[in-house]
Amino acid sequence: MVQIFPPERVNLHTHSWYCGHGVGELSEYVIAAEQQGLDVLGFSEHCPLPDHRWSSSRMEFDLLESYFEECRSLQRSVDSLQILIGLECDFYPEYATWYREFILEKQKVDFLCFGVHFLPNGFGKDVYLKHLPQEKRFLHKYTDLYTAGLSSGLFLFGVHPDLFASFYTSWDAEAIACSKEIIECAVTYNIPLEINGNGLRKSMIDTPAGRRHQYPLQEFWELAATYPVLVTTNSDAHQPNEVNQWQWESFAFANKCGVELCSCEVKNQKNSNLHEVALLPPQEERKVSNK
């Protein structure tokens, strides 16, 4: 069976207690998703790495199995919505094989998404983007990693591509050039970019051009609107009441920037719990179809 869901019925970016900085059981997110009118709920917990890198804000390695098991058991017991099993990955090329061979092929997840959250500060330490100084070298490193993630063939979509705006606060020629590189790469590989709802809920920051969200960055998405790039939006929920409650804000933001949002196609695979998931251009027919 193939079903197509409009963007307002879909959230593919959901955390929980598993990552250590979210709250709530997976089952509570399912209940909230039903109450908040979702048809598709994708879990996307922060993926642990075999070397435990960034472990302070990632799911513990030992929890990976129980995360998958709990997701699968919810899939079996809940009929009212499509539950998809995913992970949000930090893209670094050295982990591409791990993501491909261990996570995608062995664990059989429905989808992976990726972002770049940390960069090495040059002194042997990984620093969360927001805490980096506004320096071009970090912006360039971010852009290199993000475009490598887009071209890796591993991911259904890229999350918060404009997260660099949390430390690189000027919209100057450098920021424009790097944004173009990211957007053009997403067009080339046909990978959707995500307007992130969690950014809209976070505290604002002061920049040379005034007070604004850390991300999403309006200028980035206005630029994206001039390209044939696929755009999606997700809540990036870290507590159950966030699964869909604030999505109207993301939709208003997308509308203001002139971007249209993808719908979501879900195919149930025969003789397996797995789903094939695709994000479709907005002009595709937005209807629930049974084939």
Phi/psi of residue 84, each to 5°? -110, 145
**Interface with Zn ion includes 197 (CB under 5 A)?**
no
**Candidates 98-106, 168-176, 230-238, 270-278 — which segment interacts with Zn ion by CB under 5 A?**
230-238
Residues 106-165 that bind Zn ion (CB under 5 A): 115
CB-nearer residue toward Zn ion: 70 or 236:
236
| Consecutive H or E run containing 28 | helix 26-35
CB-nearer residue toward Zn ion: 7 or 161:
161
**Interface with Zn ion includes 22 (CB under 5 A)?**
no
In 3D, which of 131, 103, 109 has the Cα closest to residue 118? 131
CB-nearer residue toward Zn ion: 160 or 275:
160
Phi/psi of residue 120, each to 5°? -65, 135
266 burial class (0-12, 13-18, 19+ CB within 10 angstroms)? Answer: buried
CB-nearer residue toward Zn ion: 115 or 161:
115
Beta carbon of residue 2, minimum distance to Zn ion (angstroms, whole number): 27
**Interface with Zn ion includes 236 (CB under 5 A)?**
yes
Please report how many Cα atoms fall inside a 13 Å half-sphere around the Cα of residue 175, on the Cβ side: 20
The rounded distance, in Å, linking the Cα atoms of 79 and 32 is: 15
Pair type for strands 126-128 and 118-120:
antiparallel
Beta carbon of residue 159, minimum distance to Zn ion (angstroms, whole number): 5
Residues 86-105 that bind Zn ion (CB under 5 A): 88
Residue ranges binding Zn ion (CB under 5 A):
88, 115, 236
